[in-house]
Chain A
C-alpha cells in the first residue's frame, strides 16, 4: 500500500538557519502530496501541497517540490523563526481511491528553533 517516510527527528536549529526536512513516498498511482503542521496543543493545518510532478508548493516561506523521479517532497525554508517550532507531517492522497481526502501520513518530525 501507499506509505510516507520522513527523516528521523527531532530537529533543533538556531533562528535564521536553513531548514530541510526529507520526505519520500511509495505509491502505485500519481498521488497528491502535502505538508501539514501541528503547533503545540492544536490540530493539524495544511502548510502547502502539490498535485502533480514538478509542482512546487509554497506558503509562509516554506517550499516543497514534487519530484516523481526520486519520489520525494522535501520541505525547505531559508531562514527559520522561533514561531516555526512545531511538528511537521508529510502526507499523500491517491485520487484513485475515490476519496481524495483519505490521506496517508508520515510519522511527523518535531522542529525546535532556538532564539
Chain B
C-alpha cells in the first residue's frame, strides 16, 4: 500500500534555482494539499485542491505554484527558490464530501534547503 508518495526526500538548492516537489497518491482521494513545517510555526497550508483541475491558495502561497491535471498527482513548483523556503514540505490527501470530517493522509515529507 503506497498511500501518499513524495519525491525527493532531500534536496539542496541555490537561491534562484527552480524545482518541483512531486506528490502522488493511490487512494483515489479528491482532496490534496501541501503544507510546510517550520520550527515553532507548526504546519502551514500552502495550496490545496478539491479535485482535478481545481486549485486554491492556502495561508502561505507566495513563491509556490501548483497544478492538478490528474486525481493522483499534485506537484508543487518553486520557480525561484529563496532561503526563506528552507523547510520540510508535506503532501497530504483525503476523501471529501458530506459527512466526511477530513482525515488527512500524509506523505513522509521532503526536506528542502536553499543556500
Contact = CB atoms under 8 A, between A and B. Distances in A.
B100 A44 contact: no
B53 interface: no
A99 B94 CA distance: 10
Interface of A: 32, 34, 36, 41-46, 49, 51, 89, 93, 95, 98-108
Nearest to A94: B102
17 contacts: A32-B101, A34-B102, A42-B108, A43-B109, A44-B92, A89-B42, A89-B43, A99-B96, A100-B102, A101-B33, A101-B95, A101-B103, A103-B45, A104-B45, A105-B35, A107-B40, A107-B42
A101 B106 contact: no
B41 interface: yes
Contacts of B104: 36, 44, 46, 101, 103
Contact of B106 (A32, A45, A49): A45
Contacts of A101: 31, 33, 48, 92, 94-96, 100, 102-104
